[in-house]
C-alpha cells in the first residue's frame, strides 16, 4: 500500500493490526508516547488512541449513538478496567508530573503492563547499526558507544543532529 493510501486508512482507523515503522529509540517517552500508549490514530489500538485524544478535548462521548468507526474521528472507549485504559491513565499522570524519577516510574508501569499483559505489538529488530560519515576535520561527533542505547536508529521525526548535541561540534581548518 502506498503512503497516501496508508494515511487514509490510518485516519479512518480501518485497521486493527498493521505493520508500521520501527521503534528506533525514543528520545523522550512523554513526547513520543504513541509507540507504547495509544494516544492517537497513528499506531497500535487506533480506536482507543483516538478516544484518548478526543477525551482530552472533551469530545470523546459525542456521537455515542454511532458505531466506533462511524464517529468523526473514529474512536472507541477502552475497557475502563483493562490494560489500555490503565496505560493511558499513567501516561496522562506522567504528562503533568514535574519529578523525572516519578515520570520514569509511571512509564516503568507502562512497560511492565506490556510485559505482563501483552504483547500488544511485536517487532523483529531493534537498534540496528546506522553508518554515519564524518569528515576528518569535523570534531566532537559522538560515536554510537557515546549515545544512549548505542545511538538512535532512524529517528525521522527528531532532527538527526539534535540527538547528538551539535552545539558541541567544531571544525578545524
Q: pLDDT tens digits, residue range 57-84? A: 999 999 999 999 999 999 999 999 999 9
Least Cα distance to 122 among 18, 40, 7, 9 occurs for 18
* Confidence check: pLDDT of 151 > 70: no
Q: What letter would DSSP give residue 112?
A: H
CB-count exposure of residue 63 (10 Å: 0-12, 13-18, 19+): middle
Cell of 116: 505482563
Report if pTM > 0.85.
no
Amino acid at each position: 500500500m502506498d503512503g497516501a493510501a496508508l494515511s487514509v486508512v490510518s485516519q479512518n482507523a480501518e485497521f486493527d493490526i498493521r505493520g508500521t515503522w520501527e521503534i528506533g529509540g525514543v528520545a523522550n517517552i512523554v513526547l513520543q508516547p504513541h509507540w507504547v500508549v495509544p494516544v492517537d490514530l497513528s499506531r497500535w489500538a487506533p480506536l482507543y488512541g483516538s478516544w484518548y485524544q478526543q477525551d482530552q478535548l472533551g469530545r470523546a462521548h459525542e456521537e455515542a449513538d454511532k458505531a466506533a468507526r462511524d464517529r468523526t474521528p473514529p474512536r472507541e472507549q477502552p475497557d475502563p478496567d483493562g490494560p489500555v485504559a490503565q496505560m493511558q491513565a499513567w501516561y496522562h499522570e506522567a504528562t503533568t508530573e514535574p519529578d523525572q524519577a516519578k515520570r520514569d516510574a509511571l512509564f516503568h508501569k507502562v512497560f511492565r503492563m506490556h510485559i505482563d499483559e501483552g504483547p500488544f505489538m511485536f517487532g523483529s529488530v531493534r537498534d540496528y547499526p546506522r553508518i554515519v560519515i564524518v569528515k576528518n576535520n569535523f570534531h566532537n561527533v559522538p560515536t554510537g558507544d557515546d549515545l544512549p542505547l548505542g545511538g538512535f536508529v532512524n529517528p525521522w521525526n527528531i532532527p538527526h543532529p539534535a540527538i547528538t548535541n551539535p552545539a558541541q561540534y567544531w571544525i578545524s581548518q
